[in-house]
């Protein structure tokens, strides 16, 4: 079910009304669980069983880790993590392994490539793993408690995993951040200004920017790009960089606004990533919930930067390769992750070896352009199969004399400008951004966004990160 579908609007309105009815406080969590399961089952009802199976594993193993035999705590958490990863591997990577190592015309290979990819499986699997590891480590015992009552534990954990604003494409939640928020909510405490701003910006980025840009980045696919000019190919790649940001950041904004509507705070998932002047900064600003998950549950357990420089570079690279594979069941995603891992390792090596500090404005701008160019170039691995990536880069080099497609160029520039202005606004001095006169224009900006959502939305399509 898409956030921009009428079916979702009806479900949201019905849920909101029932949720805040008088004397419904004790049933609020149950109401949201029911709505979340309906939300997930819409379009793929059979795969609801997989979500419930995943939730059941994490409910049972987390409970047994706390209240089972002390001698078997490690066994319970290990079994839980292994089962989570096994489900993820089968449903997400079975087809990749079959295409790589098996005959897909018959037998197990054919069966694997026919296995459906459940939407959101990467997100709720990681959330389940984080719950198990946090319960086992006991690092957050002050805020993360497992109820002795199995009924309460089932309700809390199923709610944590299935809460519909983040269910399909994040942000990735951590139990120690979410569990303390589970309590009765009042309509009087809703921050309507926050909800309005997040939903307006989110729907604008998704429906006006990302969906319209998809009409023009479509021509990046083979064989269409072969006949386009070098400049057109470069601008389309820049447009796709803007599109993937608008699409995913838009989803995250909508998720935050919807969660707040029901009294829950989710983690900000994007912090103006395209202003980054280093690759490490980019990953502190892009898909923050994933980068913090990978750091907390993979990079640090591997040893982080505590075991020497060479081991640190290896840990960075392997973390990003696995993070790349998390994004999609294709070797191009692993290569994308390797690119970013190597960039992080090389950047760290240069900083440690030469300790160069660039403080001039021109130098900072050049660094920002370099990071953005690298990130944008790497997005090709998201958009195209690996062999088409090579052909696309060749076409950029050889199609210099092909006439430009002016329609594509102009439309991509127009639809990219709001995202550019969004980042430029953030770069303005704080006293300017907080100026009362400037703030008054925010209401005008919101009015314009609402108007454009109504009259200039692009063709409705699923969010890019749904496939992850």
What the block records as the tokens of 250 is 């838009």
Phi and psi for 257 in degrees, rounded to 5?
-65, -45
Phi and psi for 397 in degrees, rounded to 5?
-75, -25
The residue ranges of DSSP E strands in 15-77, in sequence order, are none
What the block records as the tokens of 85 is 């990863």
* C-alpha distances in Å from residue 78, one per residue of 72, 117, 318: 10, 25, 21
pLDDT of residue 181: 94
Please report, for the chain, the start and end positions of each structural domain, with discontinuous segments joined by +: 6-189, 192-467
Asked if 228 contacts 405 with a C-beta cutoff of 8 angstroms, the reply is yes
**Catalytic center residues:** 327
Q: What is the pLDDT along the chain (468 residues), one digit of tens a residue?
A: 778 788 999 999 999 999 999 988 899 999 999 999 999 998 788 889 999 999 999 999 999 999 998 899 999 999 999 999 999 988 888 887 777 777 677 777 767 777 777 888 889 999 999 999 999 988 888 888 889 999 999 999 999 999 999 988 779 999 999 999 999 999 999 999 999 999 999 999 999 999 999 999 999 998 999 999 999 999 999 999 999 999 999 999 999 999 999 999 999 999 999 999 999 999 999 999 999 999 999 988 888 888 888 888 889 999 999 998 888 878 888 999 999 999 999 988 888 887 777 778 888 889 999 999 999 999 999 888 888 999 999 999 999 999 999 999 999 999 999 999 999 888 887 666 566 566 667 788 889 999 999 998 888 776 676 555
CA distance 280 to 299: 14
CA distance 325 to 319: 10
What the block records as the tokens of 204 is 């604008």
CA distance 394 to 262: 50
Which residues fall within 8 angstroms of residue 46, CB to CB, at 6 or more apart?
none
Asked if 318 contacts 340 with a C-beta cutoff of 8 angstroms, the reply is no
What's the whole-model pTM score? 0.91
To the nearest 10°, report the CA torsion of 187, 189, 190, 191.
Answer: 160
Which 8-state DSSP code applies to residue 71? Answer: G
pLDDT of residue 162: 93
Asked if 261 contacts 254 with a C-beta cutoff of 8 angstroms, the reply is no
């Amino acid at each position: 079910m898409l956030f921009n579908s009428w079916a979702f609007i009806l479900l949201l309105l019905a849920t909101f009304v029932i949720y805040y009815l008088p004397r419904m406080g004790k049933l609020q969590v149950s109401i949201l669980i029911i709505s979340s399961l309906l939300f997930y089952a819409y379009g793929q009802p059979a795969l609801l069983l997989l979500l419930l199976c995943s939730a059941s594993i994490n409910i049972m193993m987390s409970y047994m880790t706390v209240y089972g035999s002390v001698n078997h705590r490690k066994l319970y958490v290990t079994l839980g993590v292994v089962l989570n990863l096994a489900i993820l591997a089968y449903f997400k990577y079975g087809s990749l392994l079959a295409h790589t190592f098996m005959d897909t015309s018959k037998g197990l290979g054919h069966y694997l490539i026919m296995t459906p990819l459940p939407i959101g499986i990467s997100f709720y699997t990681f959330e389940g793993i984080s719950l198990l590891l946090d319960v086992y480590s006991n690092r957050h015992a002050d805020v993360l408690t497992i109820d002795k009552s199995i009924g309460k534990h089932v309700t809390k954990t199923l709610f944590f995993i299935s809460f519909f604003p983040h269910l399909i494409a994040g942000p990735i939640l951590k139990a120690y951040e979410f569990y303390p928020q589970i309590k009765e909510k009042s309509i009087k405490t809703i921050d309507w200004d926050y909800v309005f701003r997040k939903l307006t910006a989110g729907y604008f980025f998704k429906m006006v920017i990302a969906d319209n840009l998809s009409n023009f980045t479509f021509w990046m696919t083979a064989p269409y790009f072969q006949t386009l000019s070098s400049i057109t190919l470069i601008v389309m790649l820049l447009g796709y960089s803007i599109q993937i940001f608008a699409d995913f950041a838009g989803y995250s904004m909508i998720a935050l606004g919807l969660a707040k509507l029901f009294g829950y705070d989710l983690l900000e998932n994007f912090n103006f990533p395209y202003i980054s002047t280093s690759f490490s900064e980019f990953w502190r600003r892009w898909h923050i919930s994933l980068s913090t998950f990978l750091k907390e549950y993979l990079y640090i357990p591997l040893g982080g930067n505590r075991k020497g420089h060479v081991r640190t570079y290896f840990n960075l690279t392997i973390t990003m390769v696995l993070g790349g594979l998390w994004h999609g069941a294709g070797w191009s995603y692993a290569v994308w992750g390797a690119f970013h891992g190597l960039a992080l390792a090389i950047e760290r090596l240069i900083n440690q070896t030469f300790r160069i500090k660039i403080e001039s404005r021109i130098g900072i701008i050049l660094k920002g352009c370099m990071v953005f160019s690298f990130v944008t170039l790497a997005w090709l691995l998201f958009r195209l199969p690996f062999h088409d990536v090579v052909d696309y880069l060749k076409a950029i080099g050889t199609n210099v004399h092909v006439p430009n497609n002016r329609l594509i160029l102009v439309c991509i520039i127009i639809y990219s400008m709001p995202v550019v202005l969004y980042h430029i606004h953030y770069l303005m001095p704080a006293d300017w951004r907080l100026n009362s006169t400037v703030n008054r224009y925010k209401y005008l900006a919101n009015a314009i966004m609402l108007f454009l959502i109504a009259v200039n939305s692009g063709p409705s399509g699923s969010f890019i990160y749904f496939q992850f």
